[in-house]
């Protein structure tokens, strides 16, 4: 059959970065699978939350971006017409959707695909996790009900990045949906050096993500209220939800004096590993991730990770690389922060070396790459 041709729809892509993990997921996929699969990507003409279009790309036309051709659709009805025209006229084997709840980049292409009797892979990207579904829950219940009523899940191949996400998909839609497990392709960049922790009895923690309810920064800040040891907590990421950030600022203002919090602004995706490798721990008790690229990047930076048990990154303590704790016990998080603060610099450095060695072993393997190629072949031959 030759090289498999795939047309991929996603809300945001390069040169955008505010969309976070999904952009990295697709970039890593294209970088690593682009020799075996021909990618055409259809996306928005602007970054997440921006009012104006990119000025560095040719919007409304195809652009060469890495191993892919990317079409940046205009906003409004023009963008919908462009999407439909691409679907009607394109030569491709498979349609790949990178969201479940996106009306523009999932629902409309899926309807057209069903009319054209095209094969569809849909990657919910963690949208069916309990934490994610609880945000704007009523709207999401209605969307799922309409989806089931139209039986759009029939014949669709769903991608899960782990068996945890596969269970979430079945719970939300049906036990009979066609699910292929293909883990997201992680970071290939690693910390070049691990600085020695300079102070004992204190800790430098870091948060990197969009500032929105799903990422749970507000809860992280409340957890720090119970910390007994000096803590510095630096926050990186675009403020997606201004009202939510205002709540965070209120908690920050009331924190005890030994807890210092600073918002550091947005962080270029190319600088994440280098920047966070200077910290002591990655602390993000997210409500749910289907993968969590920034978690993978923290591991590649040699950082112990302190997260909730709402991601595929589990059993961290047994592996000596961090902690995945229940959000029902917030005190446990502050206890770990205190434990880290009272480690000797040598103990902390040894833990970081363990984390980095684990990450190099994990992300140098081709398992995830081969699983994604197998999924595309499965769908193309379905």
Domain ranges across the chain: 4-185+366-380, 203-363
Q: How far is CA 52 from CA 49, 266, 314, 374, in A?
A: 9, 18, 40, 38
End-to-end CA distance of the chain: 14
Fold match between 4-185+366-380 and 203-363?
yes
Q: How far is CA 244 from CA 45, 59, 249, 254, 282, in A?
A: 26, 32, 9, 16, 21
DSSP 270: G
pLDDT band of residue 16 (cuts 50, 70, 90) is: very high
pLDDT at 279: 96
How do residues 264-308 score in pLDDT, each as one tens digit? 999 988 899 999 999 999 999 999 998 999 999 999 999 999 999
Lowest mean pLDDT, pick from 186-190, 211-215, 257-261, 328-332: 186-190
Measured at the CA of 131, the angle between CA 333 and CA 309, to 5 degrees, comes to 40
Residue 112 has pLDDT above 90, yes or no: yes
CATH number for domain 203-363, candidates 3.40.50.80, 3.40.50.2000, 3.40.50.920, 2.30.29.30 = 3.40.50.2000
User: Exposure of 104 by Cβ count < 10 A (0-12 exposed, 13-18 middle, 19+ buried)?
Assistant: middle
pLDDT at 96: 97
Q: Which residue has the tokens 């000797």?
A: 344
CATH topology of domain 4-185+366-380: Rossmann fold (3.40.50)
Residue 34 and residue 27: Cα distance in Å, rounded? 10
How do residues 48-91 score in pLDDT, each as one tens digit? 989 999 999 999 999 999 999 999 999 999 999 999 999 998 77
pLDDT band of residue 201 (cuts 50, 70, 90) is: confident
pLDDT at 378: 93
pLDDT at 328: 97
How do residues 305-336 score in pLDDT, each as one tens digit? 999 999 999 999 999 999 999 999 999 999 99
Residue 212 has pLDDT above 90, yes or no: yes
Coil, strand or helix at 79: helix
pLDDT at 2: 66
Residue range 159-168: mean pLDDT, rounded: 94
Residue 327 and residue 220: Cα distance in Å, rounded? 10
Q: What is the pTM of this model?
A: 0.88
How do residues 114-142 score in pLDDT, each as one tens digit? 999 999 999 999 899 988 899 899 999 99
CA 141 to chain centre: 22
pLDDT at 229: 95
Give me the percent of the chain exceeding a pLDDT of 70.
Answer: 98
Residue 1 has pLDDT above 60, yes or no: no
How do residues 335-357 score in pLDDT, each as one tens digit? 999 999 999 999 999 999 999 99
Mean pLDDT computed over every residue of the chain: 93
Residue 199 has pLDDT above 90, yes or no: no
pLDDT at 65: 95
Residue 187 has pLDDT above 80, yes or no: no
């Amino acid at each position: 059959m030759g090289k498999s041709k795939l047309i991929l729809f996603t809300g945001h892509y390069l040169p955008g970065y505010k969309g976070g993990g999904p952009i990295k997921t697709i970039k890593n996929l294209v970088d690593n699978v682009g020799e075996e699969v021909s990618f055409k990507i259809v996306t928005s003409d602007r970054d997440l939350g921006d009012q104006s279009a990119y000025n560095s790309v040719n919007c409304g036309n195809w652009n060469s971006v890495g191993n892919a051709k990317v079409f940046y659709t205009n906003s409004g009805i023009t963008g919908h017409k462009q999407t439909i025209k691409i679907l009607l006229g394109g030569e491709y084997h498979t349609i790949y959707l990178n969201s479940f709840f996106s009306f523009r980049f999932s629902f409309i292409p899926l309807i057209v695909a069903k009319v054209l009797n095209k094969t569809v892979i849909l990657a919910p990207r963690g949208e069916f996790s309990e934490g994610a579904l609880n945000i704007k829950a009523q709207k999401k219940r209605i969307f799922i009900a309409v989806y089931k009523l139209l039986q759009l899940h029939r014949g669709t191949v769903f991608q899960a990045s782990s068996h945890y996400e596969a269970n979430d998909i079945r719970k939300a839609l049906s036990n009979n949906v066609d699910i292929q497990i293909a883990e997201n392709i992680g970071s290939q960049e690693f910390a070049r050096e691990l600085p020695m922790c300079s102070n004992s009895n204190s800790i430098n923690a870091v948060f990197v993500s969009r500032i929105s309810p799903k990422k749970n920064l507000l809860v992280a800040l409340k957890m720090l209220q119970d910390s007994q040891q000096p803590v510095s907590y630096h926050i990186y990421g675009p403020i997606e939800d201004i009202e939510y950030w205002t709540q965070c600022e209120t908690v920050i203002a009331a924190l005890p004096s030994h807890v210092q919090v600073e918002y550091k602004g947005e962080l270029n995706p190319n600088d994440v590993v280098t920047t966070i490798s200077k910290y002591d721990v990655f602390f993000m008790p997210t409500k749910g991730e289907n993968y969590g690229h920034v978690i993978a990047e923290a591991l590649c930076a040699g950082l112990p990770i302190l997260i909730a048990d709402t991601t595929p990154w589990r059993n961290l303590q047994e592996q000596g690389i961090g902690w995945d704790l229940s959000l029902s016990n917030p005190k446990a998080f502050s206890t770990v922060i205190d434990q880290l603060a009272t480690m000797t610099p040598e103990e902390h450095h040894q833990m970081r070396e363990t984390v980095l060695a684990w990450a190099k072993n994990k992300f140098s393997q081709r398992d995830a790459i081969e699983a994604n190629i197998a999924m595309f072949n499965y769908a193309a031959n379905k």
